[in-house]
Amino acid sequence: MHPSIADQATDQLGGPLSVLVRQKRDHVKLAALMERLRGTDGEVQARILLEIYRLVFPHAFAEESVLWPVMRRVLPDGDALTLQVEQEHQEVNGLVKTLDGLPAGSPGRAGVLARLTEVLDEDVRDEEDALFPRLQERISRRELQVLGVLWELVRRIAPTRAHPVVARRPPGNVVAALPLSALDRGRDLVDRALPGAPGRMAPVLHRIGSVLERTSNAVERLPVMRSGEDPSTRTSAGRHPVPWRKPPVKPDGKERP
């Protein structure tokens, strides 16, 4: 099997257009943001979290709608492999929704935040060390480049916020993409305008923001948005240990069960 994509150079990964190069670039950005997040609180923490969400949600959405269907077609065990990362993405969506409801300083917030960074880290390791080297074995350099362009296109128009109710698989997530992306990006514009807005405009912006949020909540609950989902995606709390990942090591040097 190929080594982890973390240990391969751009040319080995298929050149600058390759989906593997683009994935690795985003994963490096995420690691830097998580490093900046460590030990922060209040406004600073909220700003870095927002940057993390804007990076990971479109990234994961494009994985679910472009890359995982290809993995399921080309690998005999593609279904089990992609189900594992879909469960991780689902847990991230749920944790972010929970975090949104926990104001700074509230009990439990630190634990949810710690779990969020842990799952994001696990997701990157699973993709770089197990899934992508397997994909590399099965598809050509040219196909990696075509997938790279497709993945990038979808990433640029994908939703930018947590949507735990929506399916992690097509067709549900594909149907959800356009309306949720428009609503999320509208809310992003409002959020960006709010800090510098004149006093009279602030209540108007807040009202627009909450209308967009309510519309988004209603849209994601349409039954069609759940179609294609594997029922076990939502049971991530009881996820089985994955065969390719080593158990984490405790401070005393023993492996955690």
For the record, the structure tokens of 218 come out as 């209603």
In whole angstroms, how close is the CB of 189 to Fe ion at the nearest point?
Answer: 26
Q: How far apart, in whole angstroms, are the C-alpha atoms of residue 125 and residue 127?
A: 5
Burial of 156 (0-12, 13-18, 19+ CB in 10 A): exposed
Least distance from C-beta 86 to Fe ion, angstroms? 9
Phi, psi (rounded to 5 degrees) for 75: -115, 135
Please report how close the Cβ of residue 224 comes to Fe ion at its closest, in angstroms. 24
Closest contact distance (angstroms) between CB of 64 and Fe ion is: 8
Residue nearest to Fe ion (CB): 123
Task: Please give the residue ranges that form the binding site for Fe ion (CB under 5 A).
Answer: 23, 60, 123, 127
199-161-240-251 Cα dihedral, nearest 10 degrees: -50
Distance of closest approach, residue 19 Cβ to Fe ion, in angstroms: 10
Q: Which is nearer to Fe ion, 23 or 181 (CB)?
A: 23
E strand residue ranges, 3-154: none
Whichever of 32 and 46 has its CB closer to Fe ion, that residue is 32
Report the length, in residues, of the chain: 257
Q: Count CB-CB contacts under 10 A for residue 38.
A: 9
Of 13 and 212, CB closest to Fe ion: 13
Q: Which is nearer to Fe ion, 68 or 165 (CB)?
A: 68
Identify which of residues 120 and 190 has a Cβ nearer to Fe ion in the complex: 120
- Residue 104, classified by CB atoms within 10 Å of its CB into exposed (0-12), middle (13-18) or buried (19+), is exposed
Q: What is the CA radius of gyration of the chain?
A: 19
Of the pair 61, 183, the CB lying nearest Fe ion is at 61
In the complex, least distance from residue 27 CB atom to Fe ion, rounded to whole angstroms: 6
Q: How many Å apart are CA 137 and CA 206, to the nearest integer? A: 50
